[in-house]
Structure 1
Amino acid sequence: MRSYFGVTLHTIIDDKYKTFLLSFERLEGKHTSDKLATEFDRITQLYNLKDKIVRLITDNASNNLAAFDNIILPGFDDYFDGIIDDSSESESESKSNDKETDDYAPAVGEEKQLQTHEADDSIYQTTLDSATEEEFLRLPCFCHCLQLVVNDGIKASAAAASSLQKVASIAKLSHSSTVFSERLEKFNYTIPRANRTRWNNQFQTVKKVIDIPSSILNLILSDLKKNDLILNSKDRKVLEEFVSLFELFNEATVLTQGESYATICLVAPTVLGILFDLERELGSSTLTLVSLCEALIASIKARFSGLLRYFEIDVPFNTYCMSERFSDVIFLISPLLDARFKLL
């Protein structure tokens, strides 16, 4: 397995948004904080950027894909048995290296616990000083924080597990049975192959399956003597609710991954929009996945408490260590400077 250290720069030149890839170098050996700080300092000095950087966005740890590895929807575990995807070859090696290469990766079970302390930013404080003592240069990656909220919700999806297991089995069948896939294709339906490390890829698989009308899907499954995989009305309702709740996060993830426009202005409107939509869903008398919705709301309030306090929204006393970084005023100022958002 080879590791690389990449740095991109986002700026405005002559009133135009610009993005540059400053460096993409192979990183050998242990990914210690000293090594990362030295490489980052080298890049900033090379381009004379040392005193020009406004904010630095990183993952919530130094090498840090481990926090988002194998986010699998409940019931999809068996889907990946015997499947080699784009991460499986390096999966075992990366797990064994995490403890010795990731200075700030949480210990087993630590990420699940709420914390009140500030994160250690010594790796960046050694290269660049913050504008003030209260202002941190480094901010957490918003998309990764969204994925952590999703992961919290997935853990509370027990009520949907059996229905999701059927979907996973149907999806696996579509890639192992030529007869099944050809029957689907005759009706212009296909089911994408799920990916172990991308929750939204598994989410799209669920959407594609429930988009197939019951009359077509159940008929094919019945003909193939796969009656145990038939989605009944209860399964459909649960899966539709599941998709409805996670669609908010899927849209936000896609929207905030843009490369040709500034995305930081989307953080506050996105967090507020998702929170209010979830609270509205929770107030519905017909909602089945109540525990899932409650878990998502609680996670948003805990992980983005620093931002939500500005809007006088009640948040838990104990929050995740990164949540206070979202109290940075840049998350409030940037939407005001974006013409897409206006005061009504």
Structure 2
Amino acid sequence: MKKAFTSCFPGQLDEDDDLDDSDIWNDLSVEEQEMFDNYLSAKTQTRLQCFAHPLQLVIGDGIKDTKVVNAALAKASRLSSLLHTSTSFKEKFEEFGQRGIPASVTTRWNSTLRQLKSVVSCDQLKLTRMLEDGGHKETVFTAREWNQIKELVDVLQPFGEATDLSQGEKLVTISAVVPCILSLNHHLENHKESVRYLGGLIRSLQKSLQRQFEGIFVNVRITDEQNDVATLPFSDPLYLKAALLDPSFGTMWLTHDVLAPENIKEAVSAMIKNLILKEDCKPTPTTTDEDEQMPVAEPESQSGLFSAYCKKQKRFMFQSPNSVEPVFRHL
């Protein structure tokens, strides 16, 4: 066993010390250094932004800028607290066949959505009578507030589904980013004319959505292109390529949720396909002839479960762009 300081500081070696390789501290040769640099440049990884956090910021911006629903939200929170603090009221509430109402957590906006869905699932007349008999008239929902909650649940339901999807741990979710964002934008666009009380919420949500995910809207040409597209959030082409290559989505998001003329959609589709083909044509570092001539050690015989299994090493040959084009016929 060698001394630690001997290995760490080769300039202070004693005469009696002997290294296995005396040239271990020498620099790489020019050829090896170039091969190493090419390998690192080809394998460089980039950090992608979090999808769930900006989505939660969009909801926060929308609710914060829309004060018309504050009274309804306050009553829903008060009703939930009443069920958790008053045993007698909870018993009466359960006598009507109603379930409990979950509490709202500040750090998780979808807890507010679950709370509102539980409220609107109740019978409004029975709930009003129960609150009045229990001496909680200040918690009774007016007809306007009840309709506001219904509209709010209808508007935020797709955002809740997108949030649940972004929290998946066993599934790849990068391919769902672009379809989710464009579908949410389409959902808000359709509700602009149908809502009665929450027009301001719709506009605030759409504005925040297009700001937090601006790179996606620029890449699909829904908004005007800027000079510094690479600096925009979610502008990495990887999101577009992943969405197109995912069989669950294909080009359906491009057909239904890109609110642009058909010629724009065709141009975006061609652009994404060219990006995929360009990525496929990139040369990857290969082993040298000397490495290929090195003998491969035979696997040692082992006894035990699955001991007869062996990994097959396959050499993936370079594919020309023509061999990849048939993939897009099914998209």
Q: Flag whether TM exceeds 0.5 (same fold).
A: yes
Per-residue Cα deviation, 1:264-306 (whole angstroms, up to 9, x for no partner): 000000000000100110122x431111110100011111111
* Counterpart-to-counterpart distance in 1, 2:183 and 2:76: 29
Task: State yes or no: 1:219 paired with 2:129.
Answer: yes
Match of 2:143 among 233, 244, 252: 233
Query: Where does the alignment leave 5 or more consecutive residues of structure 2 unmatched?
Result: 1-39, 253-331
1:67-146 aligned at under 5 Å gives the runs 137-146=46-55
Q: In the alignment, does 2:233 pair up with 1:328?
A: no
Paired position in structure 2 for 1:167: 76
Alignment of 1:1-344 (within 5 A): 137-186=46-95, 187-284=97-194, 286-314=195-223, 324-343=232-251
> CA 1:174–1:329 in 2, change beyond 3 Å: closer, same or farther?
same
Distance 1:242 1:318 in 2: 37
CA distance in 2 between counterparts of 1:155 and 1:248 reads: 19
Change (3 A) 1:315 1:156: farther
Instruction: Decide whether aligned partners of structure 1 residues 213 and 336 sit closer, same or farther in structure 2, where only a CA change above 3 A counts.
Output: same
Structure 1 alignment gaps of length 5 or more: 1-128
Partner Cα separation in structure 2 for residue 307 and residue 329 of structure 1: 9
Residue 326 of structure 1 aligns to a residue whose secondary structure is: coil
Larger relative helix fraction: 2
Computing the radius of gyration from Cα coordinates, the structure with the larger value is 2
Residue 34 of structure 2 is matched in structure 1 by none
- Could you say what secondary structure the match of 1:139 adopts? coil
- The amino acid across from 1:144 in the alignment is H
Q: CA RMSD in A?
A: 2.7
Query: What is the CA–CA distance in structure 1 between the aligned matches of 2:94 and 2:204, rounded to whole Å?
Result: 38
Give a deviation string over 1:90-139, Cα, whole Å, max 9, x none.
xxxxxxxxxxxxxxxxxxxxxxxxxxxxxxxxxxxxxxx8769xx97111
Quickly say closer, same or farther: Cα 1:277–1:165, change in 2 above 3 A: same
Please report how far the alpha carbon of residue 158 of structure 1 lies from its aligned counterpart in structure 2 after TM superposition: 0.2
Number of paired residues? 213
Q: TM-score, normalised by structure 1?
A: 0.57
Contact 2:98–2:122 (CA under 8 A) maintained in structure 1: no
Counterpart residue type for residue 292 of structure 1: L
2: CA distance between counterparts of 1:255 and 1:183?
Answer: 36
Structure 1 residue 171: Cα displacement: 1.0
Distance 1:219-1:306 versus aligned 2 partners, 3 A rule: same
How far apart, in 2, do the equivalents of 1:140 and 1:221 lie? 46
- Which AA in structure 2 matches 1:264? I
- Contact 1:195–1:201, Cα closer than 8 Å, also in 2: yes
By relative contact order (CA 8 Å, sep 6+), the higher-ranking structure is 1
Letter in 2 for 1:334: A
The C-alpha deviation readout for 1:199-241, integer Å capped at 9, x for no partner, is 1112211211121110221111011021121112111111111
Q: Is the 8 A contact 1:130 1:137 kept in 2?
A: no
Could you give the per-residue CA deviations for residues 67-87 of structure 1, whole angstroms, max 9, x where no partner exists? Answer: xxxxxxxxxxxxxxxxxxxxx
Q: How many angstroms apart in 2 are the aligned matches of 1:189 and 1:296?
A: 31
CA distance in 2, matches of 1:240, 1:331: 34
What is the rounded CA distance, in whole Å, between the counterparts of 1:290 and 1:183 in structure 2? Answer: 37
2:197 maps to amino acid: T
Task: Normalising by structure 2, report the TM-score.
Answer: 0.59
Percent identity among equivalent residues? 33
